[in-house]
Amino acid sequence: MAEKKNNILPPDEMRRQYEYIEKIKKENDKYAESHGARKRAFVMTFGCQQNEADSEKIAGMAEAMGYEVTSAPAEASLIVVNTCAIREHAEQKALSVIGQYKHLKNKNPELIIAVCGCMVTQEHRVNEIKHSYPYVDFVFGTSSIHRLPQLIAERIERGRRIYCPEESEYLVAEGVPIKRGDGVRAWVSVMYGCNNFCSYCIVPYVRGRERSRTREAVYAEVAELVANGYKDITLLGQNVNSYGKDSGYDYDFADLLEQLDTIEGDYMLHFMTSHPKDATHKLIDVMSRGKHIARHFHLPMQAGSDKVLREMNRRYTFEKYISTVGYIREKMPDAVITSDIMVGFPGESESDFEDTLSALERAKFDMIYSFIYSPRKGTPAAECEEQIPDAVKSARFERLLATQNAISLEKNKPLEGRTLRVLCDGRSKNNSEVFSGRTEGNKIVFFDGEDTDSGEFLNVYIERADTFALYGKIIR
């Protein structure tokens, strides 16, 4: 066990931020009185659920500072763009959106534009913003999210652009206000950062080392969410299986999950992501006994070839991986298992790729998130000379999708004629005539409903199953 380490931001530092919050709020209240409307804040989020969770904190702080959170950038006085760096495409999308805000700044020189998150936790991107996006007021990294109030105050007072250096240490900031999205689903980060250094991945460089919240803090947050009617709570971490190890806690993720499960109420717990190298039988046993723990395992495999897995620095073999899948299915025959798969990793031969296809046939995932390898500056894989040509990557990607689509359909078909418990999200975004919801395994279901069904668990009889969705009717 690691030595016990205090990873928690000193409470004094958060108190200081609350002083800035109060100060800005006073100004914003005055503005609201004289203008008959509040200043607005707009938060744009790219990337994963961790970033979504960070953005809920940004929005929470904005609200505490007296801004009204809006979904329209054109009416905002504060715009925060929370970026992702996982693939080149994610960075280009963020840069293009930041580019679009230039005309808003021209129209309203008082507008504050801030860029934060994983992309700008890389020096070369900070320099790019500095030189090519002069209308961006300040930039802050993933370790400085809680410092937003101070940065706004300094920007207003000093009128200079600010490039917030990374904090010397990545710490857990407790007590940051959170503005959650609509509905009954909520994110709860249990740990931050990553120690794994998979050879293709930028996350360890932009999110710092692993640090865990205490179980008291997590428990209190989940209990409050349940008491407030939240029904689907997803525990977040880049690798939840290492929860607690960094801080030397004498409890692990399975213990945490087991304890959270004792909270009384009508809700389910999801978690992501689990790294296969340390997905333990203990965790699977806790899930199988759980009262509120969704029988859904997201277990990114990445590739089926042991050579590729080794070069990715994933620290498991395909056989080790598939034996974990076997144990999940033994304990929970109905469990939904999903995965992340990457094609085109440097040096991936045709036969390595075929190993991935046959691995899909053996693992029989319900669904996968598939990715084309994208070189990330500063990671070992990006330096590798055997980069795969784009045309080969795309062709493999298409074959990957075709193989998995057939498997997803094969997994969904037997659900026809069954009644599943579905958490209703309300009217479907694409077709307001129908309602949508998610099963315990996160499969999307469409059905006829009523507005009062939103946010409720329903029993839905599945009439038809497709590759990507289920269709049914409510059994009342």
Residues that bind ligand F3S (CB under 6 A): 47-48, 50-51, 84-86, 118, 202-203, 206-207
Binding mask 265-284 for ligand SAH (x = CB under 6 A): --------x-x---------
Spatial CA neighbour of 207 closest among 372, 49, 350: 49
Q: Which does 84 bind (CB under 5 to 8 A by kind): ligand SF4, ligand SAH, ligand F3S, none?
A: ligand F3S
Candidates 90, 114, 342, 400: give the one binding ligand SAH (CB under 6 A).
Answer: 342
195 or 403: whose CB is closer to ligand F3S? Answer: 195
As measured in angstroms, the least distance from the Cβ of 339 to ligand F3S is: 16
Rounded distance, CA 445 to CA 31, Å? 46
Rounded distance, CA 69 to CA 77, Å? 10
B/e letters for 351-375, b = 16+ CB within 10 Å, e = fewer, are ebbebbbebbeebebbbbeebbbbe
As measured in angstroms, the least distance from the Cβ of 22 to ligand SAH is: 37
Candidates 302, 324, 338, 412: give the one binding ligand SAH (CB under 6 A).
Answer: 302
47 or 344: whose CB is closer to ligand F3S? Answer: 47
Beta-strand relationship, 419-427 and 191-192: unpaired
153 or 202: whose CB is closer to ligand F3S? Answer: 202
25 and 154 Cβ atoms separated by less than 8 Å: no
82 or 239: whose CB is closer to ligand SF4? Answer: 239
Burial degree of 178 (CB within 10 A; 0-12, 13-18, 19+):
middle
As measured in angstroms, the least distance from the Cβ of 203 to ligand F3S is: 5
Q: Which does 245 bind (CB under 5 to 8 A by kind): ligand SF4, ligand F3S, ligand SAH, none?
A: none
Asked if 239 interacts with ligand SAH (CB under 6 A), we say: yes
122 or 150: whose CB is closer to ligand SF4? Answer: 122
Rounded distance, CA 235 to CA 290, Å? 15
The alpha carbon torsion through 401, 406, 408, 414 (nearest 10 deg) reads: 170
H helical segments located in 49-173:
49-64, 88-100, 102-107, 123-132, 148-158
Residue whose CB is nearest to ligand F3S in the complex, by number: 47
Rounded distance, CA 305 to CA 208, Å? 29
Rounded distance, CA 434 to CA 414, Å? 23
How far is the CA of 207 from the CAs of 86, 105, 460, in angstroms? 11, 30, 40
Spatial CA neighbour of 48 closest among 206, 164, 170, 179: 206
As measured in angstroms, the least distance from the Cβ of 368 to ligand F3S is: 16
**Positions 227 through 286 that interact with ligand SF4 (CB under 6 A):** 238-239, 275
Candidates 38, 40, 87, 443: give the one binding ligand SAH (CB under 6 A).
Answer: 87
137 or 278: whose CB is closer to ligand SAH? Answer: 278
Asked if 203 interacts with ligand SF4 (CB under 6 A), we say: yes
Beta-strand relationship, 78-83 and 112-117: parallel
Binding-site ranges for ligand SAH (CB under 6 A) = 86-87, 200-201, 238-239, 273, 275, 300, 302, 340, 342, 371, 373-374, 376
